[in-house]
Amino acid sequence: MRRYRLAGQEFIFPYAFPELASFEMTGIKSGADSQSAPFDSDSGSAGEYSKLISRTDGWVAGDQRLVEVYDTSRGFLMKVADCGDFIISLHGETINKNSWQNKLSQLDREVILGPALVFALALRGVWSLHASALMYKDKVFAFLGESGQGKSTLAAYLSQNPDWRLVADDILPVIMDVNGLNILPHFPQLKLSVNAQPGVGLPERLPLRYICVLAQANADQMPELHELSTAQTVQALLGHIAGTRMFTPSLLARHLEFSTRSARKISAYKLIHPHRRDTLPRVKEFLEKL
């Protein structure tokens, strides 16, 4: 068993993950964990103590797949179509495939480091935003938006400038404390190579200063920046936290509470911009003046 520290939390995984090399906890004795042992999902005892929590379609491991989550006496059972069954311990400390095997397939790894990890983090009070994030001097910006709204293009442009630094490419773990909303940048960005992980070298926790919700403009429109109300910010957070369709009723209630509290403590804006590279300097100017 290998131990990793991701998004400020310690996790036990069944095997080494090259994708997590930067986050492995070394010098710690590894051992078997009773919560990570597989159980037979076809057995009578598993059926007796299992309850379907959610059934949804999602983009997992490069394809649209059915994902089911069950509450069981051993923790949570996540079934992913064509990928298998995965066990997440009750408090999210361990994630394992529901069978002993010599190694994990590539699909197994993508499920464990994708929906299973997002679910496990939520169990521990860490929420995963679908967002890119960048730091301008000492201010962290999170950019939220649906696929195709230009998050990656904007992040790539800004990170080329010397005063800007990429913090997250696709998934941004966040947490609330007494001081406000914080990001947890020690987290694998799976679309980037092992040697290009942006969180390496950053503190484990950083305050989040601004949220920008991207909205597409007409081709001939110039960029605009409009401050969001608290209610609009709540809706933005509710709509851009990953994994919510898998959540238990308890997690959904905590997710709503988190979004409501966070909206009162963060400055949020709607960033309208056309997908034209000639407008990116203007967007950069808007952001640097905040």
State the DSSP code for 256: H
Q: Which residue, among 58, 212, 75, 204, has the nearest Cα to 132 in the 3D structure?
A: 212
Report the pLDDT value the prediction gives residue 216, as an integer from 0 to 100: 81
Report the pLDDT value the prediction gives residue 178, as an integer from 0 to 100: 87
Q: Which residue, among 131, 135, 158, 134, has the nearest Cα to 147 in the 3D structure?
A: 131
- Number of domains within the chain: 2
Residue where a domain stops, chosen among 123, 139, 168: 123
What sign does the CA torsion over 170, 176, 181, 184 have?
negative
Regarding whether 153 and 58 lie in a shared domain, the answer is no
DSSP 3-state assignment of 117? helix
Regarding whether 116 and 133 lie in a shared domain, the answer is no
Regarding whether 182 and 106 lie in a shared domain, the answer is no
In the chain, % helix, strand, coil (3-state, to 5) comes to 30, 35, 35
Q: How many CB atoms lie within 10 A of CB 270?
A: 16
Q: Which residue, among 17, 214, 250, has the nearest Cα to 133 in the 3D structure?
A: 214
Q: Which residue, among 24, 21, 269, 257, has the nearest Cα to 12 in the 3D structure?
A: 24
Regarding whether 190 and 157 lie in a shared domain, the answer is yes
CA gap 209, 227 in Å, rounded: 14
Regarding whether 197 and 275 lie in a shared domain, the answer is yes
Regarding whether 98 and 146 lie in a shared domain, the answer is no
Residue where a domain stops, chosen among 102, 123, 144: 123
CA gap 118, 242 in Å, rounded: 7
With 0.85 as the threshold, say if the pTM is over it: yes
Tell me the residue range of the domain where 136 lies: 127-288
Instruction: Note down pLDDT in tens along the chain; length 290 residues.
Output: 789 999 999 999 878 888 899 999 986 554 444 444 444 444 334 444 589 999 999 888 888 999 999 999 889 999 999 998 999 999 999 998 887 566 788 899 999 999 999 999 999 999 999 999 999 999 999 999 877 777 888 999 999 999 999 999 999 999 999 889 999 999 999 889 889 999 999 999 999 999 999 998 887 888 999 999 999 999 999 999 999 999 999 999 999 999 999 999 999 999 998 878 889 999 999 999 99
Regarding whether 236 and 142 lie in a shared domain, the answer is yes
Residues 202/172, Cβ–Cβ less than 8 Å: no
We report the CATH number of the domain holding residue 200 as 3.90.228.20
Residue where a domain stops, chosen among 123, 146, 169: 123
Regarding whether 136 and 113 lie in a shared domain, the answer is no
Regarding whether 155 and 77 lie in a shared domain, the answer is no
Residue 102, both tokens: 């010599």
Regarding whether 134 and 105 lie in a shared domain, the answer is no
Report the pLDDT value the prediction gives residue 29, as an integer from 0 to 100: 55
Regarding whether 62 and 154 lie in a shared domain, the answer is no
